[in-house]
């Protein structure tokens, strides 16, 4: 069994986009810019084969995937860019949108659908690990 490559990504506070400075990111992943998604452990992710994501519009009281300022994030997902998935801590009064935890990995996606009241996708292949 071959080992997956490991890359270090930096995510700025605010946008759900991560950057990699390693030149092998571009070679291996085809990009150095990835959209980031969180797994709150609340049932939106189904970790079977294939891994499925179905957004819950009630999570933050709105269809959060259509928030203003996330155009680039949606563009990356819809273009077929790999996605970096991270564990997350659910919202609290002090952190109303939750917070991020350890990275799960970088995955190739398929069947990405982003609409007014729904967002779904599949993770079809693990491409790399995140340091």
pLDDT tens-place values along the chain, 131 residues long: 569 999 999 987 767 899 998 999 999 999 999 999 989 888 899 999 999 999 977 666 677 788 888 899 999 999 999 999 999 877 777 776 667 778 999 999 999 999 988 899 999 999 999 98
Q: Is the dihedral of CA 15, 6, 102, 84 positive or negative?
A: positive
Which DSSP helix (H) or strand (E) runs through 114? strand 99-114
- pLDDT at residue 66 in the model: 82
- pLDDT at residue 96 in the model: 63
With contact defined as beta carbons under 8 Å apart, do 73 and 18 qualify?
A: no
How far apart, in whole angstroms, are the C-alpha atoms of residue 24 and residue 41?
A: 31
**Cis before 50 (ω within 30):** yes
């Amino acid at each position: 069994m071959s080992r997956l490559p490991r890359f270090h990504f930096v995510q700025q506070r605010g946008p759900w986009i991560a950057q990699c400075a390693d030149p092998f990111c571009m070679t291996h992943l085809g990009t150095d810019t990835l959209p980031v998604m969180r797994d709150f452990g609340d049932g939106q992710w189904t970790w079977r084969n294939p891994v499925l994501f179905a957004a819950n519009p009630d999570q933050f009281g709105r269809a959060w995937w259509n928030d203003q300022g996330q155009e680039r994030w949606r563009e990356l997902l819809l273009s077929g860019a790999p996605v970096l998935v991270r564990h997350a801590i659910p919202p609290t009064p002090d952190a109303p949108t939750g917070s991020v935890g350890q990275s799960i990995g970088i995955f190739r996606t398929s069947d990405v659908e982003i609409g007014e009241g729904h967002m779904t996708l599949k993770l079809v292949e693990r491409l790399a690990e995140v340091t």
